[in-house]
Amino acid sequence: MKRQAKASAPAKVILLGEHFVVHGEPAIVLAIDRRATVTVETRSDSKIFIRSEDMGISGFFMNDQFFPQRGGVEAKKKLEPIYAVAREVIKKHGLETAGVNIKIKSSIPIAAGLGSSAAVSVASAAALCSLFDSDKSKDNIFQIAFNAEKIVHGTPSGVDPAISTYGGILWYCKGEPIRRLDIDVDLPLIIGNTGKERSTGELVAKVNDLRNRYPRIIGKVIKAGGEIVKRSVKAIKEKDLETLGELMNINHELLCAVGVSCEELEKLVHAARKAGALGAKLTGAGGGGCMIALVSPEKIEDVAEAIEKAGGEALTTRKTDVGVAIER
Ligand code: MEV
């Protein structure tokens, strides 16, 4: 066993298909060049001590009990998935208990729909597998991070840990093998952050509830979401950004229909479209967080300015093919 190990994993944007992916439809998602980095080291006791610089929280778990150090008892909810990752890696290594320090640093906005929690879970799983000399394959890392998400978010689809693990552009459908879309297209996207934090688990539960109450109506909305994703592959392959933008707009309206948009997101989406975006939609769980706009190069500045004027923070990022990476 090593003394220390380090790994990083990327954030993501869902191009099309969020929420509907939880119900068995496909989604298209891409990894972006903002990363979470996790450093782990062994301890001589059995505490699992976790510290997140960016969230300003820390504390340790011992015998499944949480002892806050910074951020109060509230910190538990945010640190729990990382604890779940650590427990699983330690157990898989055949140990009953083992102490580790886990330090997180991230350039990904938190609770904003860009997959910050999954990126942290994936990077933690990779760093810990490296520390304990366990199976460092991407499939194992994905599975550990996915299991942790299930504990915390209820019924996630797995799209977030999948893209953070494998990178690139993925066609993701729950329960199917990971499918990489090796398409050589530069998708000029601007991200607009509302700055409003929200809980993915609660929004997923909200859509579930609506579907249970109106199965024949919401079932059709979900199916239409899947059709949009299928149609978009042709548009992406043909570099037909106008059609892709139109499909993004339709996708956004379906997400409104299932109740996951909000006033702040609507403002940014409409401002981006008015400033000439080819398409604009919320990305991730909605309820706040981020939206994305597809823009032709000559409109980048206009759209970014419109997003800022409408109260958002415009972020420019690029797609990355680098998924989880263990640092030597
Ligand atoms: C969150 O980034 C994406 C959702 O579809 C939830 C999930 O797929 O687990 C809202």
- Residue keyed to tokens 């979470």: 36
Q: Alpha carbon 132 to chain centroid distance?
A: 26
Q: Is pLDDT of 285 > 90?
A: yes
pLDDT at 73: 86
Task: Evaluate if residue 183 carries a pLDDT over 70.
Answer: yes
State if residue 127 touches ligand 1 by the CB under 6 angstroms criterion: no
* Structural contact between residues 17 and 23, judged by C-beta atoms closer than 8 angstroms: no
The minimum-distance atom of ligand 1 relative to the CA of 156 is 9
**Ligand 1 atom showing the smallest separation from residue 155 Cα:** 9
Mean pLDDT, rounded, for 263-292: 98
Do the Cβ atoms of 292 and 309 come closer than 8 Å?
no
Q: What is the pLDDT of residue 1?
A: 67
| HSE, side-chain direction, 13 A CA sphere, residue 204 | 19
Q: What single DSSP character describes residue 288? A: S
Instruction: Say yes or no: CB of residue 156 within 6 Å of ligand 1.
Output: yes
Residue 21 alpha carbon to ligand 1 centre in Å: 7
For 247-316, strand residue ranges (E) read 279-283, 290-294, 313-316
pLDDT score for 272: 98
Amino acid identity for residue 173 in this structure = C
pLDDT band with cut points at 50, 70 and 90 for residue 103: very high
Please give the structure tokens belonging to residue 35.
Answer: 């990363």
Q: Is 148 in the pocket of ligand 1 (CB under 6 A)?
A: no
Give the predicted TM-score (pTM) of the model: 0.95
Instruction: Indicate whether residue 25 lines ligand 1 (CB < 6 A).
Output: no
Average pLDDT, the chain: 95
Catalytic-labelled residue, pool 64, 133, 160, 302:
160
- In ligand 1, which atom is closest to the CA atom of 286? 10
164 ligand 1 Cβ < 6 A: no
Pocket lining: 284 vs ligand 1, CB cutoff 6 Å: yes
Q: Where are the beta strands (DSSP E) in the chain?
A: 4-16, 27-42, 48-52, 57-62, 65-70, 100-106, 169-172, 179-180, 189-193, 279-283, 290-294, 313-316, 325-327
pLDDT for residue 155 is more than 70: yes
pLDDT tens figures, 46-80: 999 999 988 999 999 999 999 999 998 889 989 99
Instruction: Tell me if 321 sits within 8 A of 167, measured CB to CB.
Output: yes
**pLDDT given for residue 316 in this prediction:** 86
In contact, 162 and 142? CB cutoff 8 Å: yes
Percent over 70 (pLDDT), the chain: 100
Structure-block tokens of residue 135: 């199976």
Q: What is the pLDDT of residues 76-93, one digit of tens each?
A: 989 999 999 999 999 988
> CA nearest 20: which of 252, 231, 233?
252
Mutating to test ligand 1, I would choose from 204, 211, 265, 292 the residue with most ligand atoms within 8 A of its C-beta, which is: 204
- What are the pLDDT digits (tens) for 231-267? 999 999 999 999 999 999 999 999 999 999 999 999 9
- How many A from CA of 180 to the centre of ligand 1? 18
Is 160 tagged catalytic?
A: yes
> Taking 90 as the threshold, does the pLDDT of residue 301 lie above it?
yes
Structure tokens that stand for 138 in this block: 């991407």
Tens of pLDDT, residues 104-148:
999 999 888 999 999 999 999 999 999 999 999 999 999 999 999
Ligand 1 atom at shortest distance from the alpha carbon of 149: 9
Which 3 state secondary structure label does DSSP give 260? Answer: coil
Q: Is 243 left (phi over 0), alpha (psi -120 to 50) or beta?
A: alpha
User: What gap in Å lies between CA 286 and CA 110, rounded to an integer?
Assistant: 13
For residue 93, the model assigns a pLDDT of 81
Residue 187 pLDDT: 87
Tokens for 139? 């499939």
160 with 201: CB under 8 angstroms?
no
